[in-house]
Amino acid sequence: MSYFVQKVTKSEHKRCNRFLNMVEYYSKTIIKRKLDKLMSKIVVVGANHAGTFSINTILDNYGDQNEVVVFDQNSNISFLGCGMALWIGNQISGSDGLFYANKEGLESKGAKVYMNSPVESIDFDGKTVTALVDGKEHVESYDKLILATGSQPILPPIDGAEIKEGSRTFEATLENLQFVKLFQNAQEVIDKLNDKSQDIKRVAVVGAGYIGVELAEAFQRHGKEVILIDVVDTCLAGYYDRDFTDRMAKNMEYHGIQLAFGETVKAVEGETKVERIVTDKNAYDVDMVVLAVGFRPNTALGAGKLETFRNGAYLVNKKQETSVKDVYAVGDCATVYDNALDDVNYIALASNAVRSGIVGGHNVGGGDVESNGVQGSNGISIYGLNMVSTGLTEEKAKRFGFNPAVVESTDLQKAAFMEDENDDVTIKIVYDKDTRKVLGAQMVSRMDISMGIHMFSLAIQEHVTIDKLALTDLFFLPHFNKPYNYITMAALTAEK
């Protein structure tokens, strides 16, 4: 034979196995240590819309790479506040459908969630969060931090309007003075309206923005006399130009809502409960006052450490990164990039919160995603009158230094021979005379025009000109629109 076969002894075989086992053990140990080093501990403060979407984005896409710990001071998460007025106005049967996530669902994906656990402070240098958990101080370290602390109701300087000290649910010191932010706030209002011993007949709503207008309708639908008060001499100021807001004001008056525009609230009076509301011009006897004057970013935890916008919101870039490394901010506590302005802005909308949560979740989890920016697209439907807008109004465009021009058109939604369910649509397009770029759009109709505003939102995002918009390929079918629909016709009338 040209080669030899060497027999392996039993002892050599054992030594060989021991060596292989040792190699396997150390290989697994090294791999585990490397994985542990790659694993990040992510703490999320706040678990409503932006927080919830950040958490789900991390767990769904990078769950095996990260440990996620969540703190929220509330007892529930994901409450859709936009349904609050529908609930109060008996337009939906109850609140069950106003939640889309819960603690159990997040924990089933691997997160550790602490509810009813307010964060008291954050050590950004030491990377620790201190919270109250079951009434005891709890310190949690983090590698990366997401701030999703949202916003808080604005409390104007009104005599008699105070929040109970230490209240985290915005409970007022005067009975039947109500704030509207949380599920608990809506539940309390509904309980009082349904309590015959309360005998609530007349309600004053302070603030004629989106929430105030929706609540005015809701209380009227609930059979109450309603007075809507605002310091501005119109409603929905900032979202629409005056000709549009006047139309909504007339719509509310037609349905019996008393409008007290151009009045500043000075006091809410009553011995133990609300009896009247006093403005600089009048006094109104009421049984309930609802303050809906707007919201401010809730950013106390980062005070003095994180850079902020002029209104106190955390300044973030398009990846939701704050001025401190490994700290991200999402939702109503943070700024957005406004494509209409080509600059940073603050626009508190649930849709913006959701998108920022997704972007922040990806970047914290291990991805690399940038926001497309926003246009502030929004809509409202009151007694069947539908209004939608995006971008800048003519008034805002002037204020921000643009040279705006406006084209406006009113036409039927569908072909004229379509006799059923065919109503007028009024559209206003705002564009810049110098660059020809579309800056904003507003639409109003009794028809469902909601999808049309999305095209304008994209046009602003992509810096489309009014001339290009006029020749955009839009389909025609009599059931839906006209051959030259109101969008095309309005754009075609723009001055050259």
Active site residues: 49, 82
Q: Which of 284, 307, 282, 311 is nearest to 298 (CA)?
A: 311
Beta strands in 357-423 (DSSP E): 378-382, 385-391, 404-412
Q: Which of 438, 389, 383 is nearest to 240 (CA)?
A: 389
290 and 204 Cβ atoms separated by less than 8 Å = yes
**Helix crossing, 210-221 with 242-254: angle to 10°?**
10
Strands 258-261 and 225-230: parallel
**Helix crossing, 350-365 with 49-62: angle to 10°?**
30
**Tally of CB atoms within 10 A around 351:** 14
Q: Which of 326, 325, 318, 115 is nearest to 334 (CA)?
A: 318
362 and 343 Cβ atoms separated by less than 8 Å = no
147 — phi, psi (to 5°)? -95, 115
Taking CA atoms, 444 is separated from 389, 395, 447, in Å, by 9, 18, 8
330 and 360 Cβ atoms separated by less than 8 Å = yes
Q: Which of 387, 389, 381 is nearest to 347 (CA)?
A: 389
Residues 155 and 248: their CA atoms lie apart, in Å, by 26
442 and 389 Cβ atoms separated by less than 8 Å = yes
433 and 404 Cβ atoms separated by less than 8 Å = yes
Strands 378-382 and 144-147: unpaired
Locus of tokens 């009104």:
158
**Tally of CB atoms within 10 A around 400:** 15
Count how many Cα atoms sit within 13 Å of the Cα of residue 103 in the half-sphere of its side chain: 15
Residues 282 and 277: their CA atoms lie apart, in Å, by 9
249 and 418 Cβ atoms separated by less than 8 Å = no
Burial of 54 (0-12, 13-18, 19+ CB in 10 A): buried
Exposure pattern of 65-85 as b/e (b: 16+ CB <10 Å)? ebbbbbbbbbebbbbbbebbb
